[in-house]
A and B are shown apart, each in its own frame.
Chain A
Amino acid sequence: MLKITIGQYYPVQSPIHRLDARMKLLCTIIFITVLFFIGNFLGYAFAAVFLAGMIKLSKVPPKYLIRGLRAIIFIIFFTAFLNIFFTAGGDVIFSWGPIQITQQGLVNALRMAVRLVMLIIGSSMLTLTTTPIQLTEAIEFGLSPFKKIGVPAHEIAMMLTIALRFIPTLMEEMDKIMKAQMARGADFDTGGLFKKAKSLVPLLVPLFISSFRRADELALAMEARCYRGDVGRTRMKQMKMRFSDYQALAVMGLFFATILGIERLAGLWGVW
Chain B
Amino acid sequence: MSIQIVNVDYTYSRGTAFEKKALNNVSLTIEKGEFVGLIGHTGSGKSTLIQHLNVLMRPDSGSIIIDGEDIGADKSRLKAIRSKVGLVFQYPEHQLFEMTVYKDVAFGPANAGLDADEVNKRVLDALAIVGIPEELHQKSPFELSGGQKRRVAIAGILAMGPEILVLDEPTAGLDPRGRDEILNQIKIMHEKLKLTVILVSHSMEDIARLADRIFVINHGEIVMSGTPAEIFVQTDALESLGLSSTQSTYVARRLRAAGFDVPEDIYTVDAAVSAILKVLM
Chain A residues in the interface with B (C-beta under 8 A): 10-12, 61, 63-64, 176-177, 179-187, 201-202, 205-206, 209-210
Q: Are A180 and B97 in contact (CB under 8 A)?
A: no
Q: Does B170 contact A (CB under 8 A)?
A: no
Task: Evaluate contact between A180 and B15: CB separation under 8 angstroms.
Answer: no
- Complex CA gap A177/B97 in Å reads 11
- Top 10 nearest A-B pairs (CB, nearest first) are A185-B111, A205-B97, A184-B108, A180-B95, A183-B87, A179-B56, A180-B89, A202-B97, A185-B112, A206-B97
Known: A184-B95, A184-B160. 6 other contacts (CB 8 A): A179-B89, A180-B92, A183-B54, A185-B107, A187-B79, A206-B94
Does B45 belong to the interface (CB within 8 Å)? Answer: no
A185: B residues at CB distance < 8 A = 79, 82-83, 107-108, 111-112, 160
The residue in chain A whose Cβ has the minimal distance to the Cβ of B92 is: A180
The residue in A10, A176, A185, A205 that gathers the most chain B C-beta atoms within 10 A of its C-beta is A185
Report how far A11 CA is from B54 CA in the complex, Å: 33
Q: Taking each of A184, A186, A187, A202, which has the highest tally of chain B beta carbons within 10 Å of its own beta carbon?
A: A184
Chain B minimum-CB-distance residue to A210 = B94
Would A177 and B56 count as touching, CB distance under 8 A? no
List, in ascending order, chain A residues with CB within 8 A of B51's CB. 179
- Which B residues between 104 and 130 are near A, CB-CB below 8 angstroms? 107-108, 111-112
- Residues 131-166 of B, flagged 1 when their CB comes within 8 A of A and 0 if not, give 000000000001000000000000011001000000
Of A11, A183, A201, which is within 8 A of B82 by CB? A183
Are B83 and A206 neighbours in the complex by a CB distance under 8 Å?
A: no
Nearest Cβ in chain A — how far from B223, in angstroms?
26
B281 at the interface (CB under 8 A from A): no
Q: Does B280 belong to the interface (CB within 8 Å)?
A: no
Interface CB pairs A-B, < 8 A, 19? A12-B17, A61-B16, A177-B95, A180-B95, A183-B89, A183-B157, A184-B95, A184-B107, A184-B111, A185-B79, A185-B82, A185-B83, A185-B108, A185-B112, A187-B111, A201-B97, A205-B97, A206-B96, A209-B142
